[in-house]
Structure 1
Amino acid sequence: MSGQPRWTQTWIGGVRAAGADLGYPGERLGLPEHGRGSVAGFGRRFGALLVDWLICVWAIARGLFGADTASASWIGLAAFAVENILLVGTVGATLGMRLFGVRVAMVRSDRPYVLNFLAIVLRTVLLCLAVPAIIWDRDQRGIHDRVAGTIVLRS
């Protein structure tokens, strides 16, 4: 058994520990490894999400509506959903995404810059549930992106 990975390495250490070469995120989708059009990393995505959430909760819910702490989160979530549907559906990115240099694109499309409105609505609803967004595949797509047929790329 020397030189062979133990069977426990496949489920304790993940697939990479078992010696499987999965390539870089986005390779199987035909995307470049680095630069424009490559899969956006966690840091950029999290930064964009944080900026969008702060804008929606602090600026819109508290600033415009004067919401207290309890209702600010619900108004902020509604504002976040509207921001995502309108901005991602029209220009492909929210304010935070633009700031961090990422955009949403359709995965399998001859026109990846043209987004399907129903896909964006579905993606936004699932994103607002939070759990689908924190479960990723090897191409760093959350469940919300997989279901909607979208991916977040560097712009």
Structure 2
Amino acid sequence: MGADFGYRGKRLGLPAEGPGAIAPVGRRVGALFIDWALSALIAFGLLAGRRLEATNNWALVVFLVMSLLTVGTVGATPGKRLLGLRVVALDGLERLPVWRTAVRTVLLGLAVPALVWDRDNRGLHDRLSGSVQVRA
């Protein structure tokens, strides 16, 4: 109790401020809302007037596919990109390899791993895939 661990990301070797620093929680949540709204809009367009309940299930599928494709290629979802965030590998790689992006996406789809955070604000999905969300 009361131990000083320094700033978030210090033990990961990340800077305290600026590009490469741990992404703020508010921006991460904002990016999630943008990505989810975009996914819901795409799912609604794909279903073109079918039952609204089905749209929610398809929105999750679109969200996961969008996350897999965008994080795996450009390192950020559209929401993250708009808010100046990106997902990077902790082992020095600029982007996550495809298999690690897939692990992260599957765990993100389960939701619970994304709700379990460590003191560096990394969700379990980021820890298990060896990634971290940082400021771009």
Whether these two folds match at TM > 0.5 is yes
In structure 2, the residue matched to 1:61 is 43
Match of residue 35, structure 1, among 1, 13, 18? 18
Separation of aligned partners in 2, 1:52 and 1:68: 22
Matches within 5 A, 1:75-86: 75-86=58-69
Indicate conservation of the 8 Å contact 1:62/1:68, yes or no: no
In structure 1, the residue matched to 2:89 is 106
Match of residue 126, structure 1, among 107, 118, 132? 107
In structure 2, the residue matched to 1:71 is 54
If you compute each CA radius of gyration, which structure gives the higher value, 1 or 2? 1
Indicate conservation of the 8 Å contact 2:89/2:95, yes or no: yes
Q: Indicate yes or no: 2:129 matched with 1:139.
A: no
Separation of aligned partners in 2, 1:63 and 1:45: 26
Separation of aligned partners in 2, 1:36 and 1:30: 13
Tell me how many residue pairs correspond in the alignment.
135
Q: TM-score, normalised by structure 2?
A: 0.95
**5+ long unaligned stretches in structure 2:** none
What is the Cα-based RMSD across aligned positions, in Å?
1.0
Indicate conservation of the 8 Å contact 2:85/2:135, yes or no: yes
Indicate conservation of the 8 Å contact 1:87/1:93, yes or no: yes
How big is the shift at 1:68?
A: 2.4
Separation of aligned partners in 1, 2:128 and 2:95: 17
Identity %: 48
Using CA pairs under 8 Å that are at least 6 residues apart, name the structure with larger relative contact order, 1 or 2.
Answer: 2
How big is the shift at 1:19?
A: 1.9
Separation of aligned partners in 1, 2:66 and 2:2: 42
